[in-house]
Structure 1
Amino acid sequence: MTQGLWRSALVLGLLSLVAPFAIDMYLPAMPEIAADFGVGEAEIQATITAYFIAFGVAQMIYGPWADQAGRKIPTLVGLAVFLLGSAGAALSGSSLELVAWRFVQGLGGAALMVLPRAIIRDLYTGAAATKLMALIMLVISVSPMLAPLAGSIVVAAAGWRAIFWIISAATVLSLAITMLGLPETLRRDMRVPLDLRVLARGVRELLQDRNFLAYTFIGAFGISAFFVFIASAAFVYRGQYGLGPTEFALAFAVNAIGFIGASQVAGLLAERFPLGRVIRGGTGIFAASALSLLAVTLATEAPLYLVAALMLFAFAGFGLVYPTTLVMALDEHGCNAGLASSFGGTLQMFTGGLMIVLTGPVFDGTVVPMAAVIAACATISFLLTLAVRVRY
């Protein structure tokens, strides 16, 4: 692997790490935040939904802007907005204020999803792009392993508001890395003038691209399952199973191991097998494990170790799928990679946010509703690979 590929993975991975930390680090504190504001589970889950909805909306701004102005300036603006939202969240005086500032955070964090993908497409295609995407996900994978644990330590030592101050400091560091270590990757002759008619035509072309939609929604329902897990895990693990903040963080990290390991294997499999086969196999593992989890939780009082093990296998299957679908969705859209990345991300974030909103009323702090929604999402993701002709 070339030195340039490693350097790109390090810079883009560190840049991409900030937004996941904003989700994962405060998960152990969700019950404390609910108690502090005197609200229930649904009100605190709204802080996650608001983040994801803003995340989805803003991607449609950053993508076309990045195709017109280059990648670096929109990245810096996104980081600045993210910093504002993080500081505002730390100063929130009510759950509604926290929801609002999390929305602002999502508006800024969207840049950190769209632009690294577009930068990868600027630099690489095919198996090399899949390798780079997998390497970035390896760096990002530090978040679900360490962020909840760090959050539990911070909550115990300084309260939940300190989490957002730490995220603010990390955002300042990311601004410095972007300014000093991230060159502009979009050549001037490749830039597309910002024109609403051109934008509408580009969106229409993407909506007519069967492969783009297939890859996007296969990933979208996998992301939806992960979002549902994020929104409900703290209440299930700490409520039904009685875990403390640190114990929850460790359990959450275990569930992330499958996704992390499989996402790295995806790059190797992409060199040996047709990508369509990798995607179909991954969604098969994802669906089979999730349905097994649902069956076990319906049949008996499932012990935590069994729940965690089945979740590990489920998200391992999704780990094979996600980096592969990200690359293949953009493979034929090099001339408008920013728009394709942002529109695909918008569809995925809206799907995930909508699933939390639609299924929120059935969550009761126990594992069965969580398992049922995850199984439904995994099954849809698998069926999409059968119903749509995926390009090999």
Structure 2
Amino acid sequence: MLRQPRSVLAVAFASIIAFMGIGLVDPILKPIADELGATPSEVSLLFTSYMAVMGLAMLLTGAVSSRLGAKKTLLLGLVIIILGAGMAGTQDGVAGIIAWRAVWGLGNALFVATALATIVSSARGSVGQAIVLYEAALGVGIAIGPVVGGLLGHLSWRGPFFGVSGLMLIAAVATIFLVPATPKPPRATSLAEPILALRHRGLLITGLTALLYNFGFFTLLAFTPFPLDLGALEIGGIFFGWGVLLAITSVWLAPRLQRRFGTLRPITGALLAFALILVVMAVFTDHKVVLAAGVILAGAALGINNTLITETVMKAAPVERGVASAAYSFVRFAGGAVAPWLAGYLGERVSVHLPFWVGAASVLAAALLITAGRRTLAHVEDPAQASGHTVAEAAELTAADS
């Protein structure tokens, strides 16, 4: 996995820092609410604005990248993140933080979609191996993020925002010096292509599945700190355990399950396991030990699911990988945008247990949807690609068999 071109490793390194931004904010949600006099649903809008803008901006990533080239697009995304995160740390009200988180989401969209497409296109080996490298970067970043956020948040809730800005500056410098200049693609992508790509049922099914499980994931991420009612360091430690399990299962366990059971069955199993974890958290919301254990164990299910469903996206439709990634991300981040606010609202107005019940139902629906679409997605079980062949080799094998 590490025998990759320098440019791929540099983008993976920058991705680690980019994904730290997700977990970095989690330990300070409650401190922000306490210090600024905000409700859980108001603070959860930090996730909603970030995810909503990120999802919509995904429609632009292909068009921007195909005109600027991958390296310039990565740098543009990093610069916007540096600005958005840094300015969020200077605000004195929740509304200002929410607005600058939206700017941060725009930068993250440009970076994340381009990073995935760059790694998959440039890495040695199969599509699956490239995605494992990408998911490893995601897992490491998410695992480290809560720890750094807890340490900085213990000093001040502003610390993690400034921390992200500084780390992204390091990532930008690494990208400038380690990623070689990339030529523009021979064809510019239109703004409509990601939407048109969703006409392919396989890509649409995969995107909707991700939307539904993201609903459960961001319920866990954005709402759990409130019933846990712990300090930034303790929350950071719990989500560090979650991130470690996510990294381990995405890199080592997911490929092994895929070799033994194929791609779709482990996805379904991971989703059912995650739904069950959320059910237990819904029943025992008043028990902090159960909530903490649920968060950590959820990392294992999400690690398996993230790796395998990302690979499914890359094979789901006969479109360019950048277009497939943009279309998929546009759909799935809708779940990430709605869930944090709705979970906070339901927890405030109805019951502290209800957000986890809603999240569990959504993840169960994702498992049912991917199961119903097995026939449409049967081609992703292609043994040539799953066994480590490159995309080109798999195509040659398919042609030879026919």
Coarse TM-score class (shorter-chain normalised): 0.7 to 0.9
Following TM superposition, by how much is the alpha carbon of 1:214 offset from its aligned partner in structure 2, in angstroms? 1.9
Q: CA–CA distance in 1 between the matches of 2:152 and 2:339?
A: 30
Output the amino acid matched with 2:81. F
Q: CA–CA distance in 2 between the matches of 1:34 and 1:353?
A: 19
Q: CA–CA distance in 2 between the matches of 1:53 and 1:337?
A: 22
Give the match for residue 397 of structure 2.
none
> Could you tell me whether the CA contact under 8 Å between 2:139 and 2:250 is conserved in 1?
no
The two structures have a TM-score, normalised by structure 1, of: 0.86
- Equivalent positions of 1:190-201 (< 5 A) are 190-195=185-190, 199-200=191-192
CA distance 1:146–1:37, shift in 2 (3 Å): same
Following TM superposition, by how much is the alpha carbon of 1:272 offset from its aligned partner in structure 2, in angstroms? 4.0
- Equivalent positions of 1:129-144 (< 5 A) are 129-144=127-142
Give the match for residue 340 of structure 1.
324
Structure 2 residue aligned with 1:222, among 208, 213, 217? 213
> Could you tell me whether the CA contact under 8 Å between 1:37 and 1:95 is conserved in 2?
yes
Give the match for residue 288 of structure 1.
276
CA distance 1:166–1:246, shift in 2 (3 Å): same
2:266 corresponds to 1:278: yes
Output the amino acid matched with 1:120. I
Secondary structure, in 3 states, of the residue corresponding to 2:65? helix
2:315 corresponds to 1:331: yes
CA distance 1:258–1:380, shift in 2 (3 Å): farther
Secondary structure, in 3 states, of the residue corresponding to 1:350? helix
Gaps of 5+ in 2: 382-402
Structure 1 residue aligned with 2:203, among 205, 209, 212? 212
> Could you tell me whether the CA contact under 8 Å between 1:55 and 1:349 is conserved in 2?
yes
- Equivalent positions of 1:171-320 (< 5 A) are 171-184=168-181, 190-195=185-190, 199-200=191-192, 203-204=195-196, 206-238=197-229, 243-264=230-251, 265-294=253-282, 296-297=283-284, 303-320=287-304
CA distance 1:177–1:293, shift in 2 (3 Å): same
2:55 corresponds to 1:56: yes
User: Over aligned residue pairs, what C-alpha RMSD do you find?
Assistant: 2.6
Secondary structure, in 3 states, of the residue corresponding to 1:192? coil
Secondary structure, in 3 states, of the residue corresponding to 1:331? helix
2:377 corresponds to 1:379: no
Give the match for residue 162 of structure 1.
159
Question: Would you say how many aligned residue pairs link Structure 1 and Structure 2?
Answer: 375
- Equivalent positions of 1:339-358 (< 5 A) are 339-358=323-342
> Could you tell me whether the CA contact under 8 Å between 1:10 and 1:136 is conserved in 2?
no
Secondary structure, in 3 states, of the residue corresponding to 1:208? coil
> Could you tell me whether the CA contact under 8 Å between 2:242 and 2:295 is conserved in 1?
yes
Following TM superposition, by how much is the alpha carbon of 1:384 offset from its aligned partner in structure 2, in angstroms? 0.9
Following TM superposition, by how much is the alpha carbon of 1:2 offset from its aligned partner in structure 2, in angstroms? 6.3
Secondary structure, in 3 states, of the residue corresponding to 1:170? helix
The two structures have a TM-score, normalised by structure 2, of: 0.84
Give the match for residue 65 of structure 1.
64
Q: CA–CA distance in 2 between the matches of 1:155 and 1:302?
A: 25
Output the amino acid matched with 1:275. T
Gaps of 5+ in 1: none
Q: CA–CA distance in 1 between the matches of 2:269 and 2:7?
A: 29
Output the amino acid matched with 2:167. A
CA distance 1:45–1:129, shift in 2 (3 Å): same
Q: CA–CA distance in 2 between the matches of 1:355 and 1:129?
A: 31
Following TM superposition, by how much is the alpha carbon of 1:348 offset from its aligned partner in structure 2, in angstroms? 0.8
> Could you tell me whether the CA contact under 8 Å between 1:63 and 1:340 is conserved in 2?
no
Q: Deviations over 1:15-68 (max 9, x none)?
A: 112333223222222222223322222221111111111111111111222234
CA distance 1:215–1:183, shift in 2 (3 Å): farther
Q: CA–CA distance in 2 between the matches of 1:360 and 1:2?
A: 41
> Could you tell me whether the CA contact under 8 Å between 1:31 and 1:235 is conserved in 2?
yes
Q: Deviations over 1:160-183 (max 9, x none)?
A: 222222211111111111112123
> Could you tell me whether the CA contact under 8 Å between 2:271 and 2:305 is conserved in 1?
yes
Structure 1 residue aligned with 2:144, among 135, 143, 146? 146
Q: CA–CA distance in 2 between the matches of 1:215 and 1:21?
A: 25
Instruction: State the identity %.
Output: 24
Give the match for residue 11 of structure 1.
10
Structure 2 residue aligned with 1:360, among 339, 344, 348? 344
